[in-house]
Amino acid sequence: MLETVQDTRQRLLEVAEQFYAERGFEGTSLRSLTDAAGVNLAAVNYHFGSKRNLMWEMFSARIEPINTQRMFLLDKVLAGPELPTLEGVFDALLVPVFDVAQGPNGANLIFLRMIGRVFSESEEFWHQLHNQFFDVLCRRFLDAIVLAEPKLSPEEVAWRFHFSIATMLGALGTHKSLNRNCASVPTLNGNDMDETCLRLRNFICAGFRGAQLKP
């Protein structure tokens, strides 16, 4: 194995992502984490100060480049001469996630599950994460959707956006289990991230457009 030698800090971040994705915050012990990373238990507090800070920095390192890219793509959609489309807006939201998931060594399903698990965190931790990483982003995307669907009231947009986010997070969180959720269900090829992303985007856009309360 000619892998690049990684320092302790980086190894901790990588194993933290995997363990968090598989077991959640409370379910991950620092002992099991440092054992799997091949580093000393005390290294967590030396490099990060606490278990919580380790997880926070792991999440931050993953989500901030994605959110930067989301904003960049959204700005591009909004800068055009025409009104934005739902497809353009939701592509800006989804494509950066699946770009990261489509790693060089095959689909990074751990990463998807980690992202999807965040929203079932305990209330306080989730609230802090949301304020730090999603509040502004959420507002920007809502404003863009109002432009894309000008006939809908803000409340109507809020409802449909809520379901759209629920679909995205639910799909990310359950993605790893695709092939065994139902024993007798056809196997889904969940390794092609581009196809998964496009299917998800099409589902969300269609749901959004067709979700009028009274049929």
Partner DNA sequence: GTCTATAGTCCGATAGAC
Partner DNA sequence: GTCTATCGGACTATAGAC
Closer to DNA by CB, 9 or 130: give it.
9
Cβ proximity of 69 and 38 under 8 Å? no
207 binds a second copy (CB under 8 A): yes
- Nearer of residues 128 and 191 to DNA, judged by Cβ: 128
Check residue 84 for interaction with a second copy (CB under 8 A): no
Query: Does position 211 bind a second copy by CB under 8 A?
Result: yes
DSSP code per residue over the chain: --PPP--HHHHHHHHHHHHHHHHTTTT--HHHHHHHHTS-TTHHHHHTSSHHHHHHHHHHHHHHHHHHHHHHHHHHHHHSSSPPPHHHHHHHHHHHHHHHHEETTEE-HHHHHHHHHHTTS-HHHHHHHHHHHTHHHHHHHHHHHHHHSTTS-HHHHHHHHHHHHHHHHHHHHHGGGGGGSSTTSPPP-TT-HHHHHHHHHHHHHHHHHT--S--
Touching DNA, residues 27-66 (CB under 7 A): 28-32, 39-47, 49-52
Establish if 50 lies at the interface with a second copy (CB under 8 A): no
Choose the binding region for a second copy from 9-17, 59-67, 104-112, 126-134 (rule: CB under 8 A).
126-134
Least separation in angstroms between CB 57 and DNA:
13
Of 43 and 142, nearer to a second copy (C-beta) is: 142
Interacting residues toward a second copy by CB under 8 A: 22-27, 116-117, 119-120, 122-123, 126-127, 130, 134-135, 138-139, 142, 154-155, 158-163, 165-171, 173-174, 177-178, 180-186, 188, 195, 198-200, 202-213, 215
Interacting residues toward DNA by CB under 7 A: 7-8, 28-32, 39-47, 49-52
